[in-house]
Structures are given as C-alpha cells and as structure tokens.
Structure 1
Amino acid sequence: MIEIRPYLRSDVADLQRLANNAMIPHFTRDRFPHPYTMNDAELWIEVNENASPVLNFAIAVDGNFAGGIGLMPQYDINRFNAEVGYWLGEPYHGRGIMTAALTLLIDHAFNKLTYVRLYANVFEHNAASMRVLEKAGFYKESIQRKAAYKNGNFIDEHVYALLKPGIL
C-alpha cells in the first residue's frame, strides 16, 4: 500500500539513510543536501511535522518510509500555483510508487487546498521523472533552454503542468 502522510519523528533514520544517496543530488535542487546527515533529517522533520497546512509529505510503502513529495506554493498573482517536488529512495525505484504518490498529492492539492495549477521543472537528463509526470496526467508546457546550472553545466529544464479539472 502506498500513502503520503506527514513526516514522523520515527522517519529520521530511514530519511537519512535513503536521502544520503549520491544519485539524488543529480536530480534535485542544490538545496537538497549531500551528504544527507542525521542532522539534516532531524531538521527537515522538525520543520514539517507540525506544519499547517501540510505541504511536504513522507511517501510510505506498506508503512515504511520510502521518500518525500511536496508542494512549493507560489505567491502574488501566481498564488493558486504550486511547484511539485519529489524524490524516492533507490530501493523503491521502478515499481510505480512515485506515480501513485504523485496522484495522491494531486488529489490533496486540488481537493483539500486551493491550487488550480501544479507544475514541475525537470532536468533534461531525468527521463524517469518526465514519465512519472506524464503518467500522472501532466503535460509538457515548455523547455527552458539552459535555464538551470547544475553540477557545473547549464542544462535545459522541461516544464510540466497540470490544471485542476474544470478550470478551463
């Protein structure tokens, strides 16, 4: 069973272990720490465990912590938009878990919060993430040429979006 739920103190060790993978920084923003220390895990859970509304969720598979997924609210004229971000521990790759977790997040964002548009920026070399987004109903809006600077290189970002049904 796949679920998204608030982070728990009991997630600290699994969060640190799974997030401290050398591959994750290739696909995430630079603010995702590497190495990912126990202190990083404790701080992340402390910041998120009592958040209201909950915007960052633990992904759990059969009750076990497997990764993270969340919404980054936008502001001002874009206040009904949220950027989606996610990562999954390597032992859980290739099983459809992220698509299921993203589908749960979409439902939460559109039916329990006020968002009408979700989007994700994906690095050009992250075909797996592009597939996850497409399977969850997102469509490619654009390619922003050399918009990101990652690991010493300028790379393209593919922008995917999803509108709340009935918004058009």
Structure 2
Amino acid sequence: MPEPVALVDADLQLRPWRSEDLPALLANANHAAVVRGLSSRFPHPYTAEDGRAFLAGEVVPLDRWALAICRDGQACGGIAITCGSGERCGTASLGYWLGPAHWNQGLMGRVLALYVPWVMGDAGLHRLLAEVMVHNPASARVLLRHGFVEEGTARWAIRKEGVLYDLRRFAWLAGPSAAASA
C-alpha cells in the first residue's frame, strides 16, 4: 500500500480528504459561483448530506489522487484526476475547485505547481487533460500559466440546466517531446 500523500508549500497542503473536513467543505462548496464551472454532480445548494456522501467516496472515488486543497490547515477546495483505460491508458482528466474566498490569490497556480508533476509521475501519465467552461477565463489562464497548452474548443460539449456550453480543452504532456508536439 502506498504511503498517504501530503504535498506541502508554506501555508498550502494537498492531502487526502478526511471526515473532519465536513464543516470546511460545506463552507467552501456551498456557493453558486463554485458550481457554475463544475459538472452537475457537484450540487447547489451543497448540503451536509452531499458533503458526507462525498467524503464517504459515494460521489467520486476518493483514491490516492483525489486530494483536499488546504490552506492553513483548513480544506478550501479539491483536486483530482480520472484515469483513462484501454487505449487511453496513461491519460487522465483533471478537475479542481476552490471556495470563492480563495480566488484571485494565486493559490490554484501553487496547487497546480505541486500537484501536476507529482500526479504525472505517481500515476504514470503521459497526458493530462483539463476542460474549462468558456465562461471561466480565470481557470483557463491559470492552466496556460502553468504549462498546459490549449488544444481547442469542444462546441456544445455539455448541458447544464438546459443550456449548452462550449468547453476549452487544455493538455499537459509529459517528457521532452511535449514542447515539440505542442
């Protein structure tokens, strides 16, 4: 069994979710602005029942790569990958979120700087995909600043609350050939 993960940079820690994170999870997740850029499995309002189900691993697998983003010891967001299989072995999709009180402070850039190199090696990935709804330019900017390359736009890729949205697609490629193929 691998050792538990703890990635640390000053006041920032990425670590496995814990049941005692429930109050902080509720305080940071229960915002319409957070949900606006996430998949529909992230509900709003975000209730204690939703939080308990998430922390029990009933919503998404809380595997080795699903980590709480903590600032000064308190969970304030999350980051995870979903690994591909079959012919997509060695690839993964990245997802992340932060509570609004932590936006526009450079925190997500620090998170990506810790998480991406680690997860690429730990999960044996050669490609990491991140998709961003077109109305979330801040997320697109942080990906671009931290080594992701924009690959294009998937038009009408998702439907939320009856509205079709485009998704901007970004990728991080491992190894020295990454820059040559970008």
Distance 1:42 1:101 in 2: 24
Do the aligned partners of residues 53 and 13 (structure 1) sit closer, same or farther apart at CA in structure 2, a change above 3 Å counting? Answer: closer
TM-score normalised to structure 1 length = 0.92
Report matched runs for 1:119-158 at 5 Å. 119-158=129-168
Cα displacement string for residues 124-143 of structure 1 (whole angstroms, at most 9, x for unaligned residues): 11101101111111010111
Q: 1:29 aligns with which of 19, 31, 39?
A: 39
Structure 2 residue 19 is matched with structure 1 residue 5: no
Structure 2 residue 120 is matched with structure 1 residue 118: no
Distance 1:25 1:12 in 2: 17
In angstroms, what is the RMSD of aligned CA positions? 1.7
Per-residue deviation, 1:167: 4.9
Per-residue deviation, 1:166: 3.0
Distance 1:52 1:90 in 2: 23
Structure 2: give runs of 5+ residues left out of the alignment. Answer: 1-10
Distance 1:110 1:72 in 2: 12
TM-score normalised to structure 2 length = 0.85
Q: 2:93 aligns with which of 83, 101, 108?
A: 83
Structure 1: give runs of 5+ residues left out of the alignment. Answer: none
Q: Any runs of at least 4 consecutive aligned residues in structure 1 with deviations exceeding 3 A, and if so which?
A: none
Distance 2:156 2:52 in 1: 34
Count of paired positions: 166
Identity among equivalent positions (%) equals 32
Decide whether the 8 Å contact of 1:84 with 1:118 is kept in 2. Answer: yes
Q: 2:51 aligns with which of 41, 57, 60?
A: 41
Distance 1:67 1:53 in 2: 16
Distance 1:144 1:69 in 2: 22
